[in-house]
């Protein structure tokens, strides 16, 4: 298989999964504006909308894909990425030459720029500024931070944090959050430029306003990717850097810092009083201590008050017992606070006490909300180090019983195998727990059982098929099982695909038509394995005749080569 940009057909199938890969095959004719650069491959794929796709190599040389379709924006390697990858593989012999040409164009541009005069470059920049408002805005910001008028710099920085141009309905949706995040990140750069330009005192004041401005709107932004959170962290770091350079009044800084840390608008940042200990010095720490203790005593269960006290104690070099007292004043019902205490004690080399707190967290965790996964891992790891494998298995067994899930099943399996107790002892009991946790229900669309997922995860496909036949599977699981058995039991898989195609005949809509096409592609693959392509051709012809009035469906089938 030819490799291009870390690209091979098996990579595409592995990254996308069998079903998305099959769907991607049907989009080969929808790929346009393919551009192969020296660092990335970009293209447009026409689907429900025109989607932009980019394929690149990650740090390890593996393939990564990005697409702005809804499925791709969730971080998945979607059918559009598959289509672009297959298109590139289809012309693989041309790719090295195209990438080399792209690199040559880059070098040519750099050489040309190096040979321009100052006046020519200025004229070129002015031409671009007239056509590119984004470039103009960035350079205006550079000019403002380099000038003497702080008012202009302040206005420009705060305008970068204004969400209104991106909020269609008073809320910055996921599709617009990336663009806003890119713009907001320029505010961090501008603040650091102020400090680097010898105007750190101005940067301190503007950073405070910027933090408050972003804090006011952060709850109205879909920050699923965490990009805006990174901007908030950058603003906090820029403020700390400015304080380190300007050395503002420590008492006044402590007043502002404590107010900010206790303010609910601080949710977007992870500012820590401990980081400001050098800026505050003893006078500032004394003031912060006074304010923090008063706030914690007034509200010992407040998250912000606890976090502030923790930072203060660390900055003061406070005792572990004092930290434990702060955390113990409000123990989380899932045992997470017990874990925090255990880690503090373990760091102080009070190992036995640490384990006691962690074990207490397991005992006291409410069944509906805990125990915390990290707490469980903490205890299990310490038990394993001590050779207490049976105790680790018991914990994992109890967790599966209390909250049956595929993750709990996998963890028990891993642990029991290490203890050499899986096949002969634990597996049968675990499957009994999963069987009892769900009731059989024929023909269910949703609400499948963990039992079927666990059996498929064990690669026990015959048992998974029987459990599905007994009514433990929903549509998703039936289809996943069909995909798994398709190569060795194509006839059984075919019955599943055809079963789920039939209800779609009565429905309409783009998603329904895409779903039908996907299932038909899978059914065709089964017929090819069985050597019964003529039967599929007859079935497809009859379906087309029956559904011919649905023009969009016909177009979808055509696009997928059906």
- The pLDDT score that the predictor gives to residue 3 is 47
- The pLDDT score that the predictor gives to residue 49 is 75
- Tell me which DSSP letter residue 42 carries: E
pLDDT at residue 1 greater than cutoff 60: no
Across residues 506-535, what is the average pLDDT?
A: 91
- Per-residue pLDDT tens digits for 173-213: 888 888 888 888 888 988 988 898 888 999 999 999 999 99
Across residues 322-350, what is the average pLDDT?
A: 86
- Which residues 6+ apart lie within 8 Å of 244 measured at CB? 278, 279
Query: pLDDT-based confidence at 91, cuts 50/70/90?
Result: confident
- Per-residue pLDDT tens digits for 97-114: 888 888 888 888 889 989
Query: pLDDT-based confidence at 316, cuts 50/70/90?
Result: low
- The pLDDT score that the predictor gives to residue 81 is 93
- The pLDDT score that the predictor gives to residue 330 is 76
Q: Edge to edge, what strands does the sheet with 63-67 contain?
A: 31-36, 40-46, 50-57, 63-67
- Per-residue pLDDT tens digits for 246-296: 999 999 999 999 999 888 767 777 788 788 989 999 899 889 888 888 888
pLDDT at residue 444 greater than cutoff 70: no
How many degrees, rounded to 5, is the angle at CA 336 between CA 334 and CA 340?
Answer: 160
Query: pLDDT-based confidence at 126, cuts 50/70/90?
Result: confident
Query: pLDDT-based confidence at 5, cuts 50/70/90?
Result: low
- Retrieve residue 313's tokens: 């104690």
pLDDT at residue 62 greater than cutoff 80: no
pLDDT at residue 369 greater than cutoff 80: no
- Per-residue pLDDT tens digits for 216-256: 888 888 888 788 888 999 999 999 999 999 999 999 999 99
- The pLDDT score that the predictor gives to residue 2 is 41
- The pLDDT score that the predictor gives to residue 138 is 66
Across residues 125-141, what is the average pLDDT?
A: 75
Weakest-pLDDT range from 7-11, 75-79, 482-486: 7-11
Q: What is the pTM of this model?
A: 0.50
3-state secondary structure 219-261: HHECCCCCHHHHHHHHHHHHHHHHHHHHCCCHHHHHHHHHHHH
Distance of CA 125 to the CA centre of its chain: 38
- Retrieve residue 424's tokens: 């002969």
pLDDT above 90 coverage of the chain, percent: 35
Element housing 482 (H / E)? helix 475-485
Rounded-to-integer distance, Cα 505 and Cα 416, Å: 47
Rounded-to-integer distance, Cα 498 and Cα 535, Å: 13
pLDDT at residue 306 greater than cutoff 60: yes
- The pLDDT score that the predictor gives to residue 144 is 66
CB 421 within 8 A of CB 392: no
Q: What is the dihedral of CA 362, 364, 368, 372, to 10 degrees?
A: -40
Rounded-to-integer distance, Cα 138 and Cα 323, Å: 46
- Per-residue pLDDT tens digits for 370-414: 788 899 999 999 999 999 999 999 999 999 998 898 999 999 999
Query: DSSP secondary structure string, 65-91?
Result: EEE-SHHHHTT---HHHHHHHHHHHHT
Across residues 407-423, what is the average pLDDT?
A: 92
């Amino acid at each position: 298989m030819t490799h291009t940009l870390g690209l091979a057909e098996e990579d595409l199938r592995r990254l996308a999964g069998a079903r998305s890969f099959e769907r991607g095959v049907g989009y080969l004719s929808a790929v346009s504006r393919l551009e192969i650069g020296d660092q990335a491959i970009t293209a447009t794929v026409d689907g429900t909308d025109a989607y932009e796709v980019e394929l690149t190599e990650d740090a390890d040389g593996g393939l990564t894909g990005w697409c702005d379709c809804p499925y791709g924006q969730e971080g998945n390697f979607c059918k559009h990425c598959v289509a672009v990858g297959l298109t590139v593989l289809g012309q693989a012999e041309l790719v090295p030459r195209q990438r080399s040409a792209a690199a040559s164009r880059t070098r040519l541009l750099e050489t040309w720029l190096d040979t321009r005069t100052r006046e020519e470059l200025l004229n070129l920049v002015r031409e671009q500024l007239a056509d590119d408002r984004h470039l103009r805005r960035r350079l205006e910001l550079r000019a403002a931070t380099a000038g003497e008028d702080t008012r202009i710099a302040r206005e420009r920085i705060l305008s970068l944090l204004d969400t209104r141009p991106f909020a269609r309905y008073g809320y910055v949706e996921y599709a617009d959050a990336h663009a806003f995040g890119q713009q907001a990140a320029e505010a961090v750069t501008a603040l650091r430029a102020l400090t680097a330009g010898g105007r750190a005192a101005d940067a301190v004041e503007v950073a405070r306003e910027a933090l408050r401005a972003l804090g006011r709107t952060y709850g109205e932004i879909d920050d699923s990717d965490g990009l805006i959170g990174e901007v908030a962290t950058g603003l906090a770091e820029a403020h700390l850097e400015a304080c380190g350079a300007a050395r503002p009044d420590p008492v006044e800084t402590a007043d502002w810092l404590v107010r900010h840390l206790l303010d609910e608008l601080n949710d977007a940042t992870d500012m820590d009083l401990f980081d400001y200990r050098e800026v505050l010095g003893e006078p500032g720490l004394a003031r912060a201590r006074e304010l923090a203790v008063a706030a914690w005593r007034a509200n010992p269960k407040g998250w912000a008050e606890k976090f502030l006290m923790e930072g203060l104690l660390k900055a003061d070099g406070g005792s572990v017992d004092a930290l434990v007292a702060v955390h113990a004043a409000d123990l989380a019902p899932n045992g997470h606070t017990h874990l925090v205490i255990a880690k503090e004690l373990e760091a102080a080399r009070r190992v036995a006490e640490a384990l006691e707190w962690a074990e207490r967290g397991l005992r006291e965790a409410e069944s509906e909300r805990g125990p915390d996964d990290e707490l469980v891992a903490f205890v299990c790891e310490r038990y394993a180090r001590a050779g207490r494998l049976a105790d680790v298995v018991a914990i994992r067994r109890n967790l599966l019983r209390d909250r049956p899930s595929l993750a709990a099943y996998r963890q028990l399996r891993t642990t029991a195998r290490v203890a050499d107790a899986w096949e002969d002892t634990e597996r049968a009991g675990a499957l009994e727990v999963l069987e009892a946790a769900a009731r059989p229900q024929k023909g269910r669309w949703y609400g499948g059982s963990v039992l079927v997922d666990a059996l498929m995860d064990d690669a026990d496909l015959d048992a998974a098929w029987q459990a599905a036949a007994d009514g433990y599977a929903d549509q998703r699981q039936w289809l996943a099982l069909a995909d798994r058995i398709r190569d060795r039991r194509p006839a059984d898989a075919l019955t599943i695909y055809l079963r789920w195609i039939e209800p779609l005949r009565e429905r309409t809509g783009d998603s329904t038509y895409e779903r039908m096409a996907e299932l038909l592609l899978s059914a065709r693959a089964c017929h090819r394995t069985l050597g019964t392509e003529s039967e599929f051709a007859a079935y497809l012809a009859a379906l087309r005749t029956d559904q011919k009035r649905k023009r969009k469906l016909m177009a979808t089938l055509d696009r997928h080569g059906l």
